[in-house]
Amino acid sequence: MESDTDQLSHQSLRSALKAERWLKRKELELYLGVSYPTIWKWVRASKFPAATDLNGMPRWSLKAVDAWLEAQPQRAAKAPALSSSSKTKS
């Protein structure tokens, strides 16, 4: 039989899980714009948050993923290359 503390902890966990947005693998791939092998390499190298097991299925916390994205250094965007027809002649 569960004690009141166990029941409270279970209810708190359930509430937290419901409030948190969890991404499936395909959702994560689309969200980041990279393939799962890339994500797996990052996780193995401790460069990306590991999945949490929710009922036997890997899920990633959207909060953790967004925090990771915010912590990444920003790279300057490359200017588009000029085509030969748009270059000015001197």
For 24-79, what is each residue's pLDDT tens digit? 999 999 999 999 999 999 999 999 999 999 999 999 999 999 999 999 998 776 76
The predicted structure's pLDDT at residue 46: 96
In a domain, 8, yes or no: no
The upper half-sphere exposure of residue 1, i.e. CA atoms within 13 Å in the direction of its Cβ, equals 2
Paired with 61 in beta bridges are 22
**pTM as predicted:** 0.63
Q: Which domain holds residue 43?
A: 18-50+57-68
18-23 mean pLDDT: 83
Task: Please determine, for residue 18, whether its predicted confidence score (pLDDT) is greater than 70.
Answer: no
How many domains is the chain partitioned into structurally?
1
The predicted structure's pLDDT at residue 19: 72
Beta-strand relationship, 22-23 and 57-61: antiparallel
In a domain, 2, yes or no: no
The predicted structure's pLDDT at residue 20: 82
The predicted structure's pLDDT at residue 84: 63
